[in-house]
Chain A
Amino acid sequence: MLALLKRDLVLATRAGGGFGLGVAFFLILCALVPFGVGPQTEALRPIAPGILWVGALLACLLSLDRIFALDHEDGSLDLLATAPLPLEGGVAVKALAHWLTTSLPLIVAAPVFGLLLHLPGKAVPWLIISLLVGTPALSVLGAFGAAITVGLRRGGLLLSLLVLPLYIPTLIFGTEIVRRGMEGGDPITPMLFLAGISAAVVALVPFAAAAALRVNLR
């Protein structure tokens, strides 16, 4: 399992792995919003938590199809399926690799991009915490969507169509935490909901994803 994680991390960070593309996309998104809504603080501040969360979510979506598609093309997935490690574990490890290479850089970058959107300083810790708690669910749900669409020719678009509705609860609680943190409300309640969703998704969805992968391999 550790070998698989290590390989996926090496592949993502070597040339051609697409490491950092997600952050660049996130930056462009955050830079575009002020052009759309105007540069005034009053316009940007209330929507900053939402833009940052939606941006992180879309940036996360970009690299989802890479989780299984490349391994499917070069036959690695067949070999992994005949390997002694359970496919559920393989799915979880690949989702973890996706989280480390895509979501973690986004979390590091989010407070900086928050400056662009005039996010007040006291909301920043809540932004980081909410992303830390919520993004594992995004990666695992994305792995599920990638597992379902892995054999398809035009899988990419379908993947977004299937995965984005699944992201709604995470997005709602995630932004609510930041908004309440910003306005001095109680961020703990949505935090508990988000942690609950994240934990349940990480524990259960790999089984559904592995089942979908097995169907796609035969």
Chain B
Amino acid sequence: MTLLRVRDLAVARGGMRVVENVSFTLDAGTALILRGPNGIGKTSLLRTLAGLQPSVGGMMEHAEDAVAYAAHADGLKPALTAAENLKFWSSIFGGGAVGPALAAMDLLSLADRPAASLSAGQKRRLGLARLLVTGRSIWMLDEPTVSLDAHSVALFAKVVRDHLVAGGAAIMATHIDLGLSEAETLDLEPFRAQPGQMSAPAGFNEAFA
């Protein structure tokens, strides 16, 4: 079953096209890893796919309310405990139970600690545990392994693999090899936007060029 279909997608950052003509499909049980040098537009592509910014060309299809997005900021409130943070996102997304999510990322012992007292890596794990309580099928992850140690990366890889086995899908931008043998890789370099061939303006100022 295809969860996400993307055809000829063009994405802009700061009013300029960065990648264009991106096409791929994401089936249930598969993962796609985005690669490419800094500034190629991995983050912009993920934000566009998540519906946070408009695309400037092409089309994409996925079921409504299917996407869980996780980026550099984890959306955690320092004044709330780890469990409270997860409970909030669980009730907002109408998703799964908090306990198993904490257990999956090895956070049970920290459940009642305020998020302010967690280390960077622990916060990151909590932010990733949030994916489990959203109950959504397509995970869109922007550098999910930042500030994780080797043990936590393995823990996270297992969580992703379980998600895929359960019929979910993931698309992520990462430089670390997660050891996901089933994952395909998409190099964005060939899709770098070529200046000059402009069909529609990508930003306000380009309308006058």
- B77 in the interface, Cβ–Cβ < 8 Å? yes
The stretch of A54-62, A77-85, A95-103, A187-195 that contacts the partner chain: A77-85
Q: Give the CA-CA distance A7 to B86 in the complex, in Å.
A: 12
Q: Kindly identify, within residues 183 to 218 of chain A, every residue whose CB is under 8 Å from any CB belonging to chain B.
A: 217-218
Chain B residues positioned under 8 Å from A73 (CB to CB): 73
Q: Give the CA-CA distance A4 to B92 in the complex, in Å.
A: 7
- A120 in the interface, Cβ–Cβ < 8 Å? no
Say yes or no: A84 contacts B79, CB within 8 Å: no
Say yes or no: A74 contacts B73, CB within 8 Å: yes
Q: Give the CA-CA distance A18 to B15 in the complex, in Å.
A: 38
Chain A residues positioned under 8 Å from B65 (CB to CB): 84
Q: Kindly identify, within residues 101 to 135 of chain B, every residue whose CB is under 8 Å from any CB belonging to chain A.
A: 130
> A79 with B89: in contact, given A217-B52, A218-B53, A218-B54 (CB under 8 Å)?
yes
Q: Kindly identify, within residues 62 to 92 of chain B, every residue whose CB is under 8 Å from any CB belonging to chain A.
A: 65, 67-69, 71-80, 84, 88-89, 91-92
Size bracket, chain A contacts: 20 to 34
Size bracket, chain B contacts: 20 to 34
> A78 with B73: in contact, given A14-B79, A16-B79, A17-B79 (CB under 8 Å)?
yes
- A11 in the interface, Cβ–Cβ < 8 Å? yes
Chain A residues positioned under 8 Å from B47 (CB to CB): 218
Partner of B76, one of A17, A74, A84, A217: A74
Chain A residues positioned under 8 Å from B24 (CB to CB): none
Chain A residues positioned under 8 Å from B89 (CB to CB): 79
> A11 with B79: in contact, given A82-B51, A82-B52 (CB under 8 Å)?
yes
Chain B residues positioned under 8 Å from A2 (CB to CB): 91
- B94 in the interface, Cβ–Cβ < 8 Å? yes
Q: List 26 A-B contacts (CB under 8 A).
A: A3-B88, A3-B92, A4-B88, A4-B92, A10-B84, A11-B80, A14-B79, A15-B79, A16-B79, A74-B73, A74-B74, A74-B76, A75-B75, A78-B75, A79-B92, A81-B51, A81-B52, A82-B50, A82-B51, A82-B67, A82-B68, A83-B92, A83-B93, A84-B92, A217-B53, A218-B54
Q: Measuring CB to CB, which residues of chain A are less than 8 angstroms from any residue of chain B?
A: 2-4, 7, 10-11, 14-17, 73-76, 78-85, 217-218
